[in-house]
């Protein structure tokens, strides 16, 4: 690894370096520049590409207006769940299910930050980071080809250096049934924004999960979010340990749309692909004052793959700690909900019950708001019991015991 230690020019020093300007890095920057105590801090934001594209769509639920309300492209107050012989619409009150387009989010924060002369930008691929002592003060240096900068604190959301993608983080050997490691599943998907010539969608209902699709020997569903009566984001999503060939997602999307809306033609306006790790494995470790945030910083909820709102919570916690001069703690998932995540992941990973049946039972027996609270880690113990009672005891109990043994 090139540490570029031979660089002899004076090293630029910052209060904070944000390594990776994706969802987590830019969210943190957003809260820093909005904060009266932190907005004048000298910040360097580094990303291998600052030329942002609409590479992802974020959806999440919220019960009031959030920090990015002005960016919400669409929201729904009803969701639906579908499985063989099961169709249910559920009001989401008091929550709304909201959608933000990646490009709107990136552009908005980059534009807001551009008027702050204390925020500096560097487009470069980071090659190394290291901690050192400088006059009894700990600093971290961040290196890229031909350059280096240092800061009192570095927040990183970039992948560990040895990885090209999160895909290569998969160290779990499924075939060996490695009971000691936390299970690892991918939530992988391909989506399209489609536009029909005729009105075909009910724009008031977000189809959260439709399990009437090939299950790939695992758990798979179609996710259909209508933007209006003619336009929708449709995503084929699978929870499994193997990512599929692109042609497979395309074929299933084609068949689904043709069967659901026969004799209606549509155009594809946009496509997105993704693979989100569903695991409690730790990807990489850094020593203070380098802190991981976002997907590599354990912000993804292992049992659902949702991360956007946890990233916001993580960044808000960090802002509070910086304001108060407290030690930085980036953890966002409490022990109780981490335990439920581990149990659900265990059941899915070891195929103790198929995912369609699990989610169908949970949504059949609970209000959407209770499920959202549970998935947001804000449910009460009594609400947790209600959710867990949706699953048969013979499935839940042995899984819970095995998770406890693994922890012990």
Ligand X SMILES: Cc1cc2nc3c(=O)[nH]c(=O)nc-3n(C[C@H](O)[C@H](O)[C@H](O)COP(=O)(O)OP(=O)(O)OC[C@H]3O[C@@H](n4cnc5c(N)ncnc54)[C@H](O)[C@@H]3O)c2cc1C
Residues of this chain that bind ligand X (CB under 6 A): 20-25, 46-49, 56-60, 125-126, 157-159, 272, 274, 276, 294-295, 306-308, 311
Smallest distance from ligand X to CB 184, Å: 16
Q: With respect to ligand X, which residue has the nearer C-beta, 161 or 197?
A: 161
Q: With respect to ligand X, which residue has the nearer C-beta, 126 or 343?
A: 126
Q: Which residue is nearest to ligand X (CB)?
A: 22
Smallest distance from ligand X to CB 407, Å: 26
Q: With respect to ligand X, which residue has the nearer C-beta, 125 or 269?
A: 125
Separation between Cα atoms, residue 171 and residue 160, nearest integer Å? 14
Separation between Cα atoms, residue 155 and residue 217, nearest integer Å? 39
Phi and psi for 277 in degrees, rounded to 5? Answer: -70, 135
Smallest distance from ligand X to CB 396, Å: 25
Q: With respect to ligand X, which residue has the nearer C-beta, 48 or 407?
A: 48
Name the burial class of residue 229, with classes exposed (0-12), middle (13-18) and buried (19+) by CB atoms within 10 angstroms of its CB. Answer: middle
Lookup: tokens for 13: 């020093």
C-alpha torsion sign, points 386, 387, 391, 397: negative
Asked if 397 and 352 count as a contact pair (C-beta separation under 8 A), the reply is no
Smallest distance from ligand X to CB 319, Å: 16
Smallest distance from ligand X to CB 79, Å: 14
Q: Alpha-carbon Rg of the chain, whole angstroms?
A: 22
Q: Quickly tell me which residue has 């406890």 as its tokens.
A: 404
Smallest distance from ligand X to CB 328, Å: 16
Q: With respect to ligand X, which residue has the nearer C-beta, 70 or 161?
A: 161
Smallest distance from ligand X to CB 66, Å: 13
The Cα-based distances of 268 to 76, 202, 231, 232, 348 in angstroms read 22, 19, 10, 10, 32
Q: With respect to ligand X, which residue has the nearer C-beta, 56 or 352?
A: 56
Any bridge partners for residue 242, and if so which? none
CA angle at residue 364 from 362 to 370, to 5 degrees? 55
Q: With respect to ligand X, which residue has the nearer C-beta, 124 or 395?
A: 124
């Amino acid at each position: 690894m090139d540490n570029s230690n031979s660089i002899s020019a004076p090293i630029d020093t910052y209060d904070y370096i944000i390594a990776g300007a994706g969802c987590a890095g830019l969210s943190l920057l957003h809260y820093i520049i909005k904060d009266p105590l932190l907005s004048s801090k000298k910040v360097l934001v580094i990303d291998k590409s600052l030329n942002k594209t609409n590479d992802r769509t974020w959806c999440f639920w919220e019960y009031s207006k959030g920090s990015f309300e002005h960016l919400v492209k669409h929201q729904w107050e009803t969701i639906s769940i579908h499985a063989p012989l099961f169709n249910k619409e559920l009001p989401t009150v008091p929550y709304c299910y909201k959608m933000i387009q990646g490009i709107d989010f990136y552009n908005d924060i980059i534009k807001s930050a551009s008027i702050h002369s204390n925020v500096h930008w560097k487009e470069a691929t980071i090659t190394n980071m290291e901690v050192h002592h400088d006059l009894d003060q700990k600093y971290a240096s961040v290196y890229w080809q031909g350059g280096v900068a240092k800061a009192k604190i570095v927040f990183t959301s970039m992948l560990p250096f040895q990885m090209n993608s999160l895909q290569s983080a998969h160290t779990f050997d499924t075939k060996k049934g490695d009971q000691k490691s936390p299970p690892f599943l991918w939530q992988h998907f391909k989506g399209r924004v489609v536009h029909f010539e005729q009105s075909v969608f009910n724009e008031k209902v977000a189809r959260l999960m439709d399990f009437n699709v090939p299950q790939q020997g695992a758990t798979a569903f179609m996710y259909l979010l209508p933007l209006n009566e003619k336009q929708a984001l449709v995503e084929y999503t699978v929870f499994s340990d193997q990512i599929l060939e692109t042609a497979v997602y395309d074929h299933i999307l084609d068949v689904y749309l043709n069967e659901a809306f026969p004799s209606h033609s549509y155009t594809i306006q946009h496509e997105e692909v993704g693979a989100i790790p569903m695991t409690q494995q730790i990807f990489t470790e850094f020593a203070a004052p380098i802190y991981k945030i976002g997907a590599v910083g354990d912000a993804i909820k292992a049992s659902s793959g949702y991360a956007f709102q946890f990233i916001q919570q993580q960044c808000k916690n960090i802002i509070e700690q910086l304001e108060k001069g407290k030690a930085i703690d980036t953890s966002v998932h409490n022990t109780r909900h981490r335990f439920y995540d581990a149990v659900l992941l265990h059941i899915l990973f070891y195929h103790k019950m198929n995912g369609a049946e699990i989610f169908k039972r949970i949504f059949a027996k609970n209000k959407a708001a209770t499920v959202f609270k549970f998935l947001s880690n804000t449910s009460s113990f009594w609400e947790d019991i209600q959710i867990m009672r949706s699953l048969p005891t013979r499935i839940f109990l042995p899984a819970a015991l095995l998770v406890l043994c693994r922890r012990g």
